[in-house]
Amino acid sequence: MEWKLALIAGLAWAALNAALFVFVSFAPGVLIAGGVSVGPAGVVVSLALWTTLVSMTLGGYLADRVKRRDRLIVLSSLAAAGCMGAYATLPMPWLWCVLGGLVLGPAPGGIMALLPGTLRPDRLSIAFGIYYSVLYAGVAVAQPLAGFFLDISGHPAMPVWFAAVLMLLVIVSLAVFRRVQKSTSVPASA
């Protein structure tokens, strides 16, 4: 059953990373379509990454301190998805980039702690091998898929909406992870 847990946790991690990569890659197109030049559009979107650098460290600290890490992952993922959707539809894109970067921070630490908090130490090497394989495959597939959605829709915000859906996939993956964990009688750590 460890391979199932590793696969599902890897899917959660892949979804989060793919959402961030898709957002950063395609979000400038939304601003460019609205008349903003390439340089300023890139600067606005980069605000999400700069704030994420700080919020991930603080979010990891918070994830270690809270008793309900899963709730933190869910709230963080929901808020990040909401900020991505707001970026695609509402004014003040810089605000949604900054807020999105801030609220994303708590989720990565909690997701990264899923396997070490669940599996025996002697099973972690193979589990992380599966986990990272899923991560790399997911990120590799997400970018061209986002481009496909852009091509078929013709709307520059479509990849950003796709990124928001990927953030919601983090929550679904976490729920499936806990269900599989419960069915295999592996004790919960969060």
What is the distance between the alpha carbons of residues 13 and 135, in angstroms, rounded to a whole number? Answer: 6
How many domains does the structure of the chain reveal? 1
Q: What is the pTM of this model?
A: 0.93
pLDDT of residue 1: 74
Residue 135, domain member (yes or no): yes
CATH number at residue 47: 1.20.1250.20
Alpha-carbon torsion (141, 154, 171, 58), positive or negative: positive
| 26 CA to centre of own chain | 15
Confirm whether 25 is domain-assigned. yes
Asked if the structure places residue 161 within a domain, the reply is yes
CA atoms within 13 A on the CB side of 74: 11
Is position 130 within any domain? yes
How far, in Å, CA of 40 to CA of 46, rounded?
A: 10
Q: Would residue 188 count as lying in a domain?
A: no
Interval 85-111: pLDDT, tens: 999 999 999 999 999 999 999 999 999
* Residue 37 counted as domain residue: yes
Q: Which domain holds residue 137?
A: 2-183
pLDDT band at 64 (very low <50, low <70, confident <90, very high): confident
122-151: per-residue pLDDT in tens? 999 999 999 999 999 999 999 999 999 999
Instruction: For residue 190, tell me if it sits in a domain.
Output: no
Is 189 within the bounds of a domain? no
